[in-house]
Structures are given as structure tokens and as C-alpha cells.
Structure 1
Amino acid sequence: MSTILIIVALVAVLVIVAAAVLYLGPGKGGGRRGLKRRFGPEYDRAVAGHDGDTKAAERELNERVKRHGSLKEHPLTNETRELYVAQWTVLQERFVDSPDGAVAAADQLLARLAGERGFPEAARYEEQLAALSVHHAELVGGYRRVHRAAHGQASTEELREAMVDGRALLEALVTARPEDTRGHRAGVAGIGRRVHLLKPKGSGA
């Protein structure tokens, strides 16, 4: 093979590699496919929020990763973890008599817990939500539903569903590291076993 052909072949390879890098982009796989893998339902929500403009949605999601991707979650002590689990259990029991009050308190509890784990403080809700979406993309929707139910008009069933969805994020946030779950798995998992059975007084169910 002549020198010219070798050079042409090398240039072609470099062009292909460069195109692949640009398509995939930075981060976990990068690009559209990487963002979809990383954000899951949050990706679709971002696209919908930009009226179907995928490029604008991807710019927003990439900006979230840029701002919050390096965040390291602070570990919780066993005592603190157990306290949050106990508080959530109380709120589930409170839901029977006061669904609105229970969900409002659940919203505050999740915000406080997220702040303690190192995410932006509760007073910066949108920024806290964005940071959580980077690290807990599959679960942050539950927190959003709790917050929306706590600050708007919601039916009893919507309030109940918000509590169920919010519990999943709480479980993730109170688990400091995978190796810490052995002694606490039963207690953490147990906080949600009865929530789907809770019926407010006077519901007729």
C-alpha cells in the first residue's frame, strides 16, 4: 500500500473516531443515548418541558450534569438513618387521619434529608431537584409528585400515590452505601409495606 493510501486511511479513521466522540459526548456514554440512559423518564420530561425540542432539553440535562455530576453524597450515621425511617413511618400512620398534613410533612422531610445528604438545601427547591435528577433520576419524580401534591390541590388518591412514590426516594437517600444495607434493609423496606393499605378515615374504602 502506498504512503498516500495509508495517510488517507488514517485520516478516514480519525474522522470516524472524531464523529463518534462528538456524537457520544462527555459523561456516561454522552449524547442522546447516554442522556436517555442516565436520566430515564427525566429525559422525556425535559423534552416535553421544551415542547419537544430535544436539543434544548439535552442542553438543560447536560448543564445539570455539569453543575451537579461531581456531587458526593454525605453518608448518614446509623442513628440519623433510623430517625428518618421512623419519621416516615409516623407520617404514613398520620396519613389515615390527615392526608394533606402527612404529604406536606413528607415534602419537608424529603427536602431536609436531601440537604443532609449534600444536595442543595430545601430553600433552593428547583436546584435541589435538578441535583437529585442527576444522581437519582429514576426516583426524583416521586419527590416532584410529593411537592406538587403538598403545594396544590390533590385528591386523596393522588396524595396516597405521592406518598408511595416519595417513599422510594427516601429509601435510596437513607441508604448510605450498599454495604450498609444489610443491617437496615428490613427496617427501610418495611416503611412502605402498609402505605398502599392506608385509607383515610371517611374514605368509605
Structure 2
Amino acid sequence: MSTIATQTWIILAGVIVLALIALAAWFFYQKKQSHRLQKRFGPEYGRTVDELGSRATAESELKAREKRVERLTIVPLAPPEAARFSQAWAVLQGRFVDNPKGVVIEADHLVRELMVKRGYPMEDFEHRAADISVDHPAVVDHYRSAQAIAVRDERGEADTEELRKAVVHYRVLFDELLEVREAKPEVIPAKQMEVRK
């Protein structure tokens, strides 16, 4: 009877130790995931935690964003396309003094066009901002600020200085999204080169 009791205590102690190890491993994994998300999303991590009111809920949301963006085909621009966008921005910026309200609207449209060209879906603003936050967390705040000013402008509440700030915010996002793909020279295998001679 004493042997059975001892064996029971040993088994129980083993189960408790294994449970504690599993719990420690789970906490370590969670901490590592939190750190990874904080590093990847930067200030967007804190904003999402504040908005959703819970670290666990925010982390689930950020992981869902990552999965959604992984399924997208985000492509860099070819140099001629990037040049066209840069030229369009230069023209837009040159018209600010004469038409600040119109330029803010044009800046928003140009950023959206650039996002479409790169492969971002054009759902509502929050989805666009969430998608951008995955690959460009440092500038998504600029997008939100520009959008907030644009909304205030629609209500007639934004002055010229705020409109200027909106264009600056759009420009930061625009520059970040204007990734260019370098043209790769055509590589011709040696056998084909001999045939061409």
C-alpha cells in the first residue's frame, strides 16, 4: 500500500512538473510573439492595443492582418511607372497654392491609384490602413492623419495649414509606397548565344 501511494505521488509530481513546463513554454511563446509583433508594427501595435482594449485581441488582429496581406500580391513598380507617379505628384504639389482643397483630394486619389497599382485591395479606409500597416508600419500613421484632415476638410473645418499638413502626410506615404523594381538584364544562356552568332 505504501508503494502504491509513493508511486501515485511520483506520478502526480511528474504531471505537475510537465504542466509547469508546458505553461512556461506557452508564456515564453506568447512573450516572443508579442515582441515580434511590437517590433514589426511599431507604434501601430500600441494604437491597436489602445483601440481594441486588450493585448490579446490586438495581437489576434495584427496576426490576421499579416495573414491577409500574405495572400495579396504586392508588387514593386517598374521604373517607367514609378516615373509617371512621381511626375503626377510633382504636378499635384505645384498646384497647392492655387487650390489646396483640390490638391488634398487629388493626393488621396493618387495614393489610392498607387496602392491599386502595387496590389493593395481598395476596401474601406480602415482595411487599406490595416493592410499598409503590415509592410509599412512607420508611415500608416501619416495615412491616418492625412485622412482625418481630409474628412475635416469635407466638413469645412480644415484651414490651409492643415491642408498643407495633409499633403505632407500623403507625401510620406506616397514615397514609402513608391518602391521601384529594377529592370533585370536579360540573361542568355551560353548555348543560345552560340546559336545567335
TM-score of the alignment, normalized to the shorter chain, above 0.5: yes
Aligned positions of 1:7-26 closer than 5 A: 16-24=24-32
- Report the alpha carbon displacement of residue 166 of structure 1 after superposing the two structures with TM: 1.6
How far 1:175 moved relative to its partner?
1.7
Please say if 1:37 is aligned against 2:52: no
Aligned length: 165
Deviation at 1:141, TM superposition (A): 1.6
Is 1:93 aligned to residue 94 of structure 2? yes
- Is 1:156 aligned with 2:160? yes
Residue 117 of structure 1 corresponds to which residue in structure 2?
Answer: 118
In structure 1, stretches of 5+ residues that fail to align are: 25-29, 181-205
The answer (yes or no) to whether the contact 1:103–1:149 under 8 Å persists in 2 is no
Per the alignment, residue 85 of structure 2 pairs with 84
How does the TM-score come out when normalised to structure 1? 0.69
Give 1:65 shift: 1.6
Contact 1:69 1:135 in 2 (8 A): no
CA distance in 2, matches of 1:23, 1:59: 14
Instruction: Give secondary structure in 2 for the equivalent of 1:96.
Output: coil
Residue pair 1:142, 1:168 contacting (<8 A) in 2 also: yes
Aligned residue in 2 for 1:138: 138
- Residues 97-154 of structure 1, C-alpha deviation per residue, up to 9 Å, x if partnerless? 1111101110111011011101112x54332221111111111122222222223232
Q: Does the CA contact (< 8 Å) of 2:150 and 2:166 recur in 1? A: no
- Partners of 1:111 and 1:144 lie apart in 2 by 13
- 1:23 aligned counterpart, secondary structure: helix
One-letter amino acid of the counterpart of residue 158, structure 1: E
Q: d(CA) in 1 for partners of 2:149 and 2:164? A: 10
- Mapped partners of 2:168, 2:50: distance in 1: 24
**CA gap 1:19/1:176 in 2 versus in 1, 3 angstroms:** same
What's 2:62 paired with?
Answer: 61
Looking at structure 1, the residues matched to 22 and 45 of structure 2 have their Cα atoms a distance apart, in angstroms, of: 31
1:194 aligns with none
C-alpha distance in 1, partners of 2:119/2:80? 17
Q: Which has the larger radius of gyration?
A: 2
* Aligned residues: CA RMSD: 2.6
Amino acid at match of 2:180: A
SS of structure 2 residue aligned to 1:73: coil
1:172-183 alignment, distance < 5 Å:
172-177=176-181
1:19-53 per-residue CA deviation (whole Å, 9 max, x = no partner) reads: 422432xxxxx22x222211112122212323x43
Structure 2: tracts of 5 or more residues without a match: 1-9, 184-197
Work out whether residues 106 and 146 of structure 1, in 8 Å CA contact, stay in contact via their aligned partners in 2: no
Whose helix proportion is higher, 1 or 2? 2
User: Relative contact order (C-alpha < 8 Å, sep 6+): which is higher?
Assistant: 2
- The runs of at least 4 consecutive aligned structure 1 residues that moved more than 3 Å come to 10-19, 69-72
What's the TM-score once normalised by structure 2's chain length?
0.72
C-alpha distance in structure 2 between counterparts of 1:141 and 1:60, whole Å = 17
Aligned pair in 2 of structure 1 residues 22, 147: CA closer, same or farther (>3 Å)? closer
